[in-house]
Chains A and B, each alone.
Chain A
Amino acid sequence: MPSNTQAKRLISRRLVMQENVAAYLFLLPFLLFFVGFVLYPMFMCVYTSFFDATMGREDIFVGFRNYKELFSDPVFWVALKNTAIIVVVSVPITCAFSLWVASAISRMPVAATSAFRCIFYLPVVTGSVAVTMVWKWMFNNYYGIFNYLGQSAGLIDKPINWLGDPKYALGCIILILLTTSVGQPIVLYVSALDNVDKSLVEAAEVDGATPLQAFWKVKWPQMMPTTLYILVITTINSFQCFALIQLLTSGGPRNSTMTIMYYIYYNAFKLYRYGYGNAMGVILAIIIAILSAVQFRLGQEK
């Protein structure tokens, strides 16, 4: 017969086992979705990138040919450059603007803070097609409000074809992207600012810290996890900018707004070059993964 201690251990093990089983069973539904809708497509993306895959015939294994072609494709490099510009411009501006707005509205009365949070979050919850169509109307070459205001104020002599001129098109895309990107970071920063330990801020102020010093030395370090998260999601969103391009410019004029995401779509769904599109997808995923890893690393060091 087992001793009293052994019996207790046995019961304890069973309890642990039951807890583990319950936990895994709870996780199982998500795991199935994760495998089915994330891991499997990822695997298929990498796998297909080694094939000349198109509609209506068997795929032909081509090894790294898609990747070789990719690096000698001038449009891919243009798309990569445009994507990099979007990321480099939009990510810092989104973060800085969100932080500034959040700092300003978090000091307001609760009702005002909530109102501003709603206002800035509206473009996020509004359908991207609706938002894009409104912007398209505002940028319209013939009767858009920007040209109307510009001409009325004497800033421009004749209408500017905002979305039809390579000089302005990418800038317009970035501007729209900013308006749809700042909502979530603002909400997150407002929450992060609320969660800052007030006693530490007060202690710093008692010790003679200026408001700016209190912000950078006390509040900012406590908001680093939020900042890191915002940086990562904004970077990924910027890399994956697609709907705006599809609805507004189709990558034009003269590829001036072509991004990697749109070029993937164009090759896969317009030219039916699935293998080539997947090869681009793999490269994009690698770039995003490296950048995210760097951001996490820098965030941890801070």
Chain B
Amino acid sequence: MKKNLALILALCMIFTLVACGGSKTTAPAATQAPTAAPAEAPAAAPAEPAAEKVTISLWTYPIGKWTDEATVKGFIADFNAIYPDIIVNVEYLDYTNGDDKVNTAIEGGNAPDVVMEGPERLIANWGAKGLMLDLADMVPAGTYAGVLGSCTSANGAVYELPVCMTAHCMAINKDVFEEAGALQYIDLENHTWTTEDFFKAVQAVYDAGYPYVGTIYCGGQGGDQGTRALVTNLHGGTYANTEHTQYTYASEVNAKALSELCAQDGITFDPSIVASDEIQNFVNGTFQMAFCWNATQEVNNADALGFDAFPMAFPAEDGVASLQGGIWGYGIFDNKDEARAEAAKTFLRYLTEDDAVYAKVVEATNFQPVREVAGVYEGNELMAEYALMNPMMGDYYQITKGWTTARTEWWNMLQRVGESDGTVETILNEMQAAQDAANAAAAAE
């Protein structure tokens, strides 16, 4: 009796497994049913056949309020009021594990339909690997030529439909600078300063009893645009050539900049933190400067900021900085499903073509629009302040090949420089080694 019972139980388990495993094979039959129906429908009823529902997935990184469920669901609800047959499922990614999640999905053949990110970080790389659809025909008229150029890959394809942009800047604790008498070194109207004045200001704040004025974070690649911009602007260096084929940061001027930073009181190299830690330390008053800053940081940290966070361009010899831009937008993965691809394009057209919708989309990012659009950030003084940085936007060198390796080499190089004797010669050697590895990766791609 017991054995029979055991046998029945075992068979039940097997049937359960078979039933579970069979879902994949039964699914196509179920999806095929609606397509078979129209063949009979005209004879039975002259009415239009019900449109087939298409489900697409949107995976978004935390770009402004695009991490806020209420905001994103609001856009989708408005979209569904016009397109009820396109269902959009959302997945919210973070910068710690998001990349791994997407890459695992790609390798498993389950890539999302739409992803929202920056071209230099991910989308251009995926496009180069043939994983993305070319969206060149979807770019709205009036998109700034510079932005479009930055999103255009070497083969002429536009894998990212640009949505918003920012000029990455830095910030100072204005209250502390005022207390230390360091505001005299700053052009408060234009938010700029010269290299000489920058070092004088840092010294003044340090002398006023603030040991951590600014920190060269180098625990990872997060927010490395800040350290790159600081180093290359101090004495007019470059990071890559204008053709975006090679990295050029191993230069005397950049080595001199790093050497001066090594020697400066109040500036430390910290391999235990990345930009997010730096921002946290700036917001809580530990650091008096943040090298990784932009409008969205100020908006996101508004409640925690107990002082006036004053946005600044990076210091340059002539006071005119070349800021690094960030461009975010949508990419569509080529999942070999025309219906889903078309639905994804419909969704993106809805978000980017109509001025009223687009303005809301941009405002949700806390960044600037990539084309002229009426009504965006109307009466918003904070955004007007940060818009001052836009004319200083420099070369979008992030699309240089070998970018992943170049980023890794950069922060590892900073770690070594931080522990070195700080001489220009030593630093130049370290820079050269990192640059050679980055260029080798660029050549291999």
Which residues of A pack against B, CB within 8 Å? Answer: 15, 18-19, 21-22, 25-26, 28-29, 32, 54-57, 139, 141-143, 161-164, 166, 169, 249-250, 252-254, 269-272
- B51 in the interface, Cβ–Cβ < 8 Å? no
On whether the beta carbons of B270 and A271 are closer than 8 Å, the reply is: no
Interface string of B45-70 (1 = CB under 8 A from A): 00000000000000000000000000
| Chain A residues with CB under 8 A of B273 | 141, 164
Tell me which of B7, B220, B405, B412 contacts A18 (CB under 8 A).
B7
Known A-B contacts A21-B7, A164-B271; the reply to A142 vs B212 at CB < 8 A is yes
On whether the beta carbons of B3 and A15 are closer than 8 Å, the reply is: yes
List 12 other contacts, CB 8 Å, given A21-B7, A29-B17, A161-B272. Answer: A26-B9, A56-B129, A57-B130, A139-B272, A141-B272, A166-B419, A169-B272, A252-B412, A254-B271, A254-B419, A269-B103, A270-B99
On whether the beta carbons of A142 and B6 are closer than 8 Å, the reply is: no
- B251 in the interface, Cβ–Cβ < 8 Å? no
Bound together, the chains give a CA A269 to CA B104 distance in angstroms of 9
On whether the beta carbons of B6 and A269 are closer than 8 Å, the reply is: no
* Residue ID in chain B nearest A141 by CB atoms: B272
| Chain A residues with CB under 8 A of B17 | 28-29, 32
On whether the beta carbons of A164 and B220 are closer than 8 Å, the reply is: no
| Chain B residues with CB under 8 A of A142 | 212, 281, 286
User: Could you tell me the dominant secondary structure of chain B's interface residues?
Assistant: helix
Tell me which of A141, A250, A253, A271 contacts B405 (CB under 8 A).
A271
Tell me which of B13, B100, B419 contacts A25 (CB under 8 A).
B13
On whether the beta carbons of A28 and B7 are closer than 8 Å, the reply is: no
Query: Could you say which of B6, B218, B271, B272 has the most chain A C-beta atoms within 10 Å of its C-beta?
Result: B272
Known A-B contacts A270-B408, A271-B405, A272-B103; the reply to A22 vs B7 at CB < 8 A is yes
Measured between C-beta atoms, what is the minimum distance from A23 to chain B in Å? 9
Query: Could you say which of B6, B126, B130 has the most chain A C-beta atoms within 10 Å of its C-beta?
Result: B6
| Chain A residues with CB under 8 A of B3 | 15, 18-19, 22
On whether the beta carbons of A270 and B272 are closer than 8 Å, the reply is: no
| Chain A residues with CB under 8 A of B299 | none
Tell me the residues in window 248-277 of chain B with beta carbons closer than 8 Å to chain A beta carbons.
Answer: 270-273
| Chain A residues with CB under 8 A of B272 | 139, 141, 161-164, 169, 249, 253
Bound together, the chains give a CA A164 to CA B272 distance in angstroms of 4
Bound together, the chains give a CA A299 to CA B219 distance in angstroms of 42
- B360 in the interface, Cβ–Cβ < 8 Å? no
Selected A-B contacts with CB under 8 Å, 22 pairs: A19-B3, A21-B7, A22-B10, A25-B10, A25-B11, A29-B14, A56-B129, A56-B131, A141-B270, A141-B272, A142-B286, A161-B270, A161-B271, A164-B219, A164-B270, A166-B419, A249-B219, A253-B219, A253-B271, A254-B271, A254-B415, A270-B408
| Chain B residues with CB under 8 A of A15 | 3
On whether the beta carbons of B219 and A25 are closer than 8 Å, the reply is: no
Bound together, the chains give a CA A269 to CA B122 distance in angstroms of 13
Bound together, the chains give a CA A29 to CA B9 distance in angstroms of 12
Closest 10 A/B residue pairs (Cβ): A56-B129, A164-B272, A25-B10, A253-B271, A163-B272, A164-B271, A22-B6, A250-B220, A253-B415, A142-B286
| Chain B residues with CB under 8 A of A169 | 272
* Residue ID in chain A nearest B281 by CB atoms: A142
| Chain B residues with CB under 8 A of A162 | 272
* Residue ID in chain A nearest B99 by CB atoms: A269
Bound together, the chains give a CA A15 to CA B10 distance in angstroms of 16
Measured between C-beta atoms, what is the minimum distance from A156 to chain B in Å? 15
Measured between C-beta atoms, what is the minimum distance from B240 to chain A in Å? 19
On whether the beta carbons of A55 and B107 are closer than 8 Å, the reply is: yes
On whether the beta carbons of B416 and A55 are closer than 8 Å, the reply is: no
Bound together, the chains give a CA A263 to CA B173 distance in angstroms of 38
| Chain A residues with CB under 8 A of B408 | 270-271
On whether the beta carbons of B404 and A271 are closer than 8 Å, the reply is: yes
* Residue ID in chain B nearest A25 by CB atoms: B10
- B90 in the interface, Cβ–Cβ < 8 Å? no
Measured between C-beta atoms, what is the minimum distance from A235 to chain B in Å? 26
| Chain B residues with CB under 8 A of A54 | 129
Interface string of B405-445 (1 = CB under 8 A from A): 10010001001100100000000000000000000000000
| Chain A residues with CB under 8 A of B7 | 18, 21-22, 25
On whether the beta carbons of A55 and B129 are closer than 8 Å, the reply is: yes
| Chain A residues with CB under 8 A of B13 | 25-26, 28-29
Measured between C-beta atoms, what is the minimum distance from B435 to chain A in Å? 17
